Amino acid sequence: ISVTFLFLYGALSDFSSPVVRASLMGAASAFSLTARREYLAGHALALAMAGMLLYSPYLCFDLSFRLSCGASAGIILFQRPVSSWFAGLPSFLRDCLTVCVAAQILVVPLLFSAFFSFPVYSLVANVLVAPVLDLVMVLGLLASALSLLWGSAADVVLWLIKPLLALALKGNAFIAALPGSRFWAGQPSKWACLAWYLAVVFVFCPSFRRRMGPPLLACLAAAWFLRPSGPGVLVLDAGRDQVTAVIHEDKSADIWYNKSRFANPDQAAVVVTPALRAHGVFRLRQCRVDGDGADHTLVLLRRDFTFLSGTGSGDVPFRCLASVARPFPAGPLCLEFRSLTGWNGWDFPVSAMATIVYGSRRSDEALTEWGETAASYGVPCFSPSRDGQVRLYRWRGQWRISTFNEEQSWNIRNI
């Protein structure tokens, strides 16, 4: 009977990945009681994950599936040791804090990778809002059952749910709006993620501390020394919009944004802001926006970023030019041409370390000719419409260019 209700609830939730995972674990618990067999939550989680991945292997790319399984594994593995940290608190408060902390231990790298931030007040929300949501869920299931037998009683229960749901939603919104509610940091590197999990093993597995010390220090050192040093340039693949950012060492940036009238008016909010936040950029020094709808785009950027006073440093070998015009800037620079207007078909900046150009279409003849001319001079040529995101950065004293798109993944070239 309990398994039937579990899967009825799963149907009401449209069988989302976390609900299916929880239903399968609940079913394993119910069947273990019926069969009088030992139940281990770790085994149930492993069976649920294996069954779901066998049914749909692409679930491993589903963020909700990974967060749900990671949080469940954290509760199973770390609930007891974390509970000792709050031994002096009342049992209700201790249980809430223990579950919240344990659930987040394994998913911290996932949160930063997906949302570029960490919810600082999640403990407060778990203590104040979670009990209200639990009551809302129980009453909601009760109203669903009563609706099949007595509609008036179901309406009364739903009437009681309404203020509780409003309280939970407004409470969450209030906590999220508090100053410093999110710790923004951008996407962590693979070395940083590995160092985090080694640190978790170091803290919660005393028998491995002596063994894990050297690997943990090695990962921290690798994450520090392998990070790009100095300022860099990021050319975004923003569709018809043209966006370039110079990212400084303090993670502030200068932006040049050419807004196209044929693009989504909110392209800055849905594409540019997430891309910059993924690189740890949350502050802007300069922001120049041109084109159609420039005022609206500037409003979106001012809403999402903190604007600083001051100018950017001039030690980046990069120049952004509106069109192709002689004379070309001299020296080993990375030149970005927003348009090939004015190019006569043969003049070329032969001293450039690389060029970045935009085309109106993938089959643009001028863009093709420019690429062929660049190849004849041995100068790398990139285009956001073809290569995706283009990034220029300094690593170990040498400038490098990396590109990323869905077909080619990461492609790195020394220049």
Q: pLDDT by residue (tens digit) across 50-75?
A: 999 999 999 989 999 999 999 999 99
Identify the domain boundary among 151, 184, 217. 184
Task: Tell me what the mean pLDDT of segment 231-249 comes to.
Answer: 86
Task: With both helix axes pointing from N to C terminus, report the angle between 130-149 and 2-12 in degrees, rounded to the nearest 10.
Answer: 100
Question: Rounded distance, CA 390 to CA 245, Å?
Answer: 11
Helical segments of 88-237, H only: 91-105, 108-115, 122-128, 130-149, 151-176, 190-204, 209-225
Q: Do residues 175 and 197 both lie within one domain?
A: no
Instruction: From 119, 74, 66, select the one nearest 98 (Cα to Cα).
Output: 74
Q: Do residues 282 and 262 both lie within one domain?
A: yes
Residue 62: is it exposed, middle or buried by C-beta count within 10 angstroms (0-12/13-18/19+)? middle
**Residue 338 in tokens:** 């927003």
Q: Does pLDDT of 244 surpass 60?
A: yes
**Residue 259 in tokens:** 């807004």
Q: Which domain holds residue 113?
A: 2-184
One-letter amino acid at 175 equals I
Instruction: From 228, 158, 262, select the one nearest 396 (Cα to Cα).
Output: 228
Q: Does pLDDT of 407 surpass 70?
A: no
Between these two residues, 210 and 175, which has the higher pLDDT value? 175
Q: What are phi and psi of 288, to 5 degrees?
A: -110, 120
One-letter amino acid at 170 equals K
Total domains in the chain come to 3
What's the pTM?
Answer: 0.74
397: left (phi over 0), alpha (psi -120 to 50) or beta: left
Distances (CA, A) of 203 to 111, 175, 243: 20, 30, 43
Q: Do residues 251 and 382 both lie within one domain?
A: yes
Instruction: Provide the 10 A C-beta neighbour count for residue 151.
Output: 10
End-to-end CA distance of the chain: 67
Q: Do residues 296 and 371 both lie within one domain?
A: yes
Helical segments of 290-383, H only: 294-304, 365-377
Q: Does pLDDT of 361 surpass 60?
A: no
Residue pair 325/345 in contact by the 8 Å Cβ criterion: no
Residue pair 403/388 in contact by the 8 Å Cβ criterion: yes
Q: Do residues 57 and 117 both lie within one domain?
A: yes
Mean residue pLDDT across the chain: 84
Please report the pLDDT score of residue 314 as a whole number.
60
Q: Do residues 138 and 168 both lie within one domain?
A: yes
Q: Do residues 165 and 267 both lie within one domain?
A: no
Q: Do residues 38 and 85 both lie within one domain?
A: yes
Task: Tell me what the mean pLDDT of segment 331-359 comes to.
Answer: 85
Q: Which has the minimum average pLDDT: 154-163, 219-228, 298-307?
A: 219-228
Identify the domain boundary among 184, 209, 238. 184
Q: Do residues 234 and 348 both lie within one domain?
A: yes
One-letter amino acid at 52 equals M
Maximum CA extent, the chain:
84
- Measured torsion, CA atoms of residues 91, 93, 94, 100, in degrees rounded to the nearest 10: 140
- Give 356's strand partners: 336, 382
Please report the pLDDT score of residue 106 as a whole number.
94
Q: Do residues 218 and 329 both lie within one domain?
A: no
Please report the pLDDT score of residue 400 as a whole number.
83
Instruction: From 161, 128, 127, select the one nearest 144 (Cα to Cα).
Output: 161
- Give 412's strand partners: 402
Q: Do residues 250 and 326 both lie within one domain?
A: yes
Q: Do residues 207 and 250 both lie within one domain?
A: no
Structure confidence by residue, pLDDT tens digits, 4-31: 888 887 887 788 889 899 999 989 988 8
